[in-house]
Amino acid sequence: MTNIPGEFENWYLDYEAGPEAVMEPQPEHIRGLPVSDILTPSDRYQELFVAVQTSRIFSDSKTFADCAPKIDPERIMFRYYLARERDDFNLHNFVLENFDLPQVNESHYVSDPEKTMAEHIDALWPVLTRHPKQHCEYSSLLPLPKPYVVPGGRFGETYYWDSYFSMLGFAAAGRCDLLRNMADNFAWMIDRYGHIPNGNRTYYLSRSQPPVFAMMVELFEKNGVNEAQRYLRHLKSEYAFWMDGQENLEPNQAYRHVVMLPDGVVLNRYWDDRDTPRDESYIEDVETARDSSRPSSEVYRDLRAGAASGWDYTSRWLSEPGRLASIQTTSIIPIDLNAFLYKLEMAIARLSAARGDEATAERYQQLAYRRQEAVNHYLWDNDTGLYRDYNWRDGEQATFSAAAVTPVYVGMASLDQANRTAKAVRDYLLAPGGLLSSMEQTGEQWDSPNGWAPLQWMAVKGFSIYGDENLAHEIASRWLRTVSSTYQQHHKMVEKYNVSGDAALLGAGGEYPLQDGFGWTNGVTRRLLEMYPEG
Ligand SMILES: OC[C@H]1O[C@H](O[C@H]2O[C@H](CO)[C@@H](O)[C@H](O)[C@H]2O)[C@H](O)[C@@H](O)[C@@H]1O
């Protein structure tokens, strides 16, 4: 099979600062940051945490996980043990007296209906930007050295994979300051925590999210690779995190993110180091585990691994579509994760070669080719022409979903594979309002009828790289029509959309209400408007 390089054109970065070959890690006290609290709220507040979450005094389980204590947490616990013995004890009042509730900054933002959608998006970036000085001691928020952009709504912290798609919009708006700040924050987290967490919350530290740092770094590759060089060390550290433990595996064994297949090749899966209910979805996870006959710890681990995938939740991770308790994320080798890691291997190879380190370049290129071969063997179905996830425990391929565009997007597919993926996308996923997430309708938010900005972007860009400009333009224009008609009706951008029909509908499903803001929708839409000004 002939391969088409997954290069992006070096678009429009107007980045002036000189290249820095290495960005040395700096101890936190040098940067003036407080030492992070690595206890999550459930670790710290124990019985109080369980009481608050199970009594449902907040409709969203994330609210209490994001509360900041007004005084030292140990004193709060002391007060709690005394207060709860009293007959007139009121848990809700106790929480309000002892904690500050999270604020949603952009809820006060009033859209100007006169603004075009692009102007609205550009005006929102400052509203969605958080500054390091807002850190509260003992809150679950992890301080970051530089300003960062959040998705919006209940998501008041930075999110790993969302950020790449938001960054497309910063670049289109000429916000190179934000681009650099975001990339530097993620590099800093790799130094500080050994990986990029799901988001900058203590309760997100035990997992990561789809590894897209190599794609962020690629945004700095204008005029060769000089600007990207400063992140090479971080790319290697991130790779070590994802491959941790591979050297001790035997065939059919798995450890954290790595799985050894029967022929000795290693591919990756999503994972979370904890196996308890998620702090931010505590009661939801307890109820899901109750609905399963498996040990609760296994269900919790699979729910957490599903959150690490960014597709929380989807039929891709379920053995019985529509039944969340059948979740089996850790049994699945996902097509998108392995494509992102191919991209990471190729980025390390390319940046090492540019530095004259041929031995490292050669090693990572071989790793990438090996992964590509293994994906072709286990995750590519040549009979039907589909990329699918692979269940390594039962040795079967799963159903087709929009994740199949990822190998096209990263340049890992042959021309034949890309063309056959394009045909499958047209046949099964192209809907009037854009690209559906999957063919299943389960009530989960990463299934049909929902469409999400990151999936539209990877499809548009991927098919365009492989020369199918018709399909690329078709997806882009359908998506832009969906987003702009919703914007005209509601003057807002949201997290996900129902793309199944001609009329623009807001997305629904999943474990929390639809959020507006919204980082990655804004970023992808802004960039697509630039690529396709006529729609
Ligand atoms: O609170 C539940 C879950 O929420 C997050 O997932 C969803 O929002 C993220 C931010 O936009 C996005 O990255 C993810 O793809 C969405 O499914 C969070 O990432 C999960 O860890 C969390 O449990």
166-186 per-position pLDDT tens digit: 999 999 998 889 999 999 999
Distance 508 CA to ligand 1 centre (A): 14
| pTM of the predicted model over 0.80 | yes
Distance 376 CA to ligand 1 centre (A): 30
| 281 touches 267 (CB < 8 A) | no
Task: Measure the CA–CA gap between 329 and 270, rounded to whole angstroms.
Answer: 7
C-alpha distances (whole Å) from 409 to each of 133, 159, 183, 372 are: 37, 21, 21, 14
| Whether 495 is catalytic | yes
Task: Measure the CA–CA gap between 8 and 64, rounded to whole angstroms.
Answer: 42
Longest dimension (CA), the chain: 75
| Whether 312 is catalytic | yes
Do the interacting molecules here have an ipTM over 0.90?
Answer: yes
Please give the span between the terminal C-alpha atoms of the chain, in angstroms, as a whole number. Answer: 34
Distance 58 CA to ligand 1 centre (A): 18
pLDDT digits (tens, 9 = 90+) for 372-427: 999 999 999 999 999 999 999 999 999 899 999 999 999 999 999 999 999 999 99
Task: Measure the CA–CA gap between 505 and 120, rounded to whole angstroms.
Answer: 20
Catalytic residue among 66, 157, 284, 312: 312
| 383 annotated to bind ligand | no
Q: If phi over 0 gives left and psi between -120 and 50 gives alpha, with beta otherwise, what is residue 443?
A: left
Please give the pLDDT value at position 15. Answer: 27
Ligand 1 atom nearest 452 alpha carbon: 15
Residue 26 has pLDDT above 70, yes or no: no
Q: Is the CB of 444 under 6 A from ligand 1?
A: no
pLDDT class of 5 with cuts at 50, 70, 90: very low
Residue 262 DSSP class: T
**Among all chains, which residue has been given the structure tokens 């224009």?**
477
- For CA atoms 354, 359, 365, 368, give the dihedral sign: negative
Residue 48 DSSP class: H
Closest to 451 (Cα-Cα) out of 533, 509, 398:
509
Q: Is the CB of 278 under 6 A from ligand 1?
A: yes
Give the residue-averaged pLDDT of 425-446.
98
